[in-house]
């Protein structure tokens, strides 16, 4: 997959995430943290999980952390009591993503990350890591959109096609 395609996917990811966060701006604090049937139990928890996984894999891929340190990253949803705290978390991750993608080459996509632990060994290319991050985010963004829609603040169309039509 070409670097430009990865960059386009992440432009979309950033734009779609902003739509989710804009919807969250319209919630009251209780709605943002209330328990629901989403996999992580609330809109806030869903976002914390999504962003944490993005940060873990990205930090390993961009070399800012080794695999063990990236995997050890934790985020307690209670440390993100409101949408402003979530936005601050996202802004840092989004900037880190932009920095990494800005310098990425085609050759970088083929670099492998390796896990070599007893009973758990694998290698995965940066290209596949970047696809995993984007697809993981899409899965949880869909679940978050469903929760937001139930609360009357649907993000509307967040398909990649609409991003491409608006941004080329």
**Torsion sign (Cα): 2, 126, 105, 167:** positive
Asked whether the beta carbons of 27 and 46 are under 8 A apart, the reply is no
Q: What pLDDT, on a 0 to 100 scale, did the predictor assign at position 1?
A: 56
Residue 117 has pLDDT above 80, yes or no: no
- What's the count of helices (H) and strands (E) in the chain, helices before strands? 7, 2
**pLDDT by residue (tens digit) across 129-146?**
999 999 999 999 999 999
Domain with residue 93: its CATH number is 1.20.120.450
Write the CB contacts of 68 (distance below 8 Å, at least 6 apart in sequence). none
Query: Which of 66, 43, 57 minimizes the C-alpha distance to 151?
Result: 43
The confidence band for 119, taking pLDDT boundaries of 50, 70 and 90, is confident
Structural domains of the chain, count: 1
**pLDDT by residue (tens digit) across 32-62?**
999 999 999 999 999 999 999 999 999 999 9
* The overall pTM is greater than 0.85: yes
Length of the chain in terms of residues written: 168
Q: What pLDDT, on a 0 to 100 scale, did the predictor assign at position 116?
A: 82
Note down the domain range covering 7: 3-167
Q: How far is CA 58 from CA 64, 71, 146, 168, in A?
A: 9, 11, 26, 25
**pLDDT by residue (tens digit) across 65-111?**
999 899 999 999 999 999 999 999 999 999 999 999 999 999 999 99
């Amino acid at each position: 997959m070409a670097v430009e395609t990865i960059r386009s996917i992440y432009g979309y990811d950033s734009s779609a995430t902003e739509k989710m966060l804009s919807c969250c701006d319209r919630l009251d604090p209780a709605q943002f943290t209330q328990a629901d049937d989403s996999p992580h139990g609330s809109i806030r928890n869903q976002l914390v999980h999504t962003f944490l996984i993005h940060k873990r894999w990205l930090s390993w891929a961009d070399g800012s952390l080794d695999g063990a340190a990236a995997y050890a990253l934790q985020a307690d949803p209670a440390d993100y009591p409101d949408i402003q705290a979530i936005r601050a978390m996202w802004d840092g991750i989004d900037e880190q993503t932009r920095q990494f993608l800005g310098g990425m080459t085609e050759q970088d996509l083929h670099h492998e990350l390796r896990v070599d632990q007893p009973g758990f060994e694998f290698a995965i290319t940066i290209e596949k890591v970047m696809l995993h991050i984007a697809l993981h985010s899409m899965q949880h963004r869909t679940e978050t959109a469903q929760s937001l829609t139930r609360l009357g603040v649907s993000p509307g169309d967040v398909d990649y096609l609409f991003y491409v039509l608006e941004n080329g």
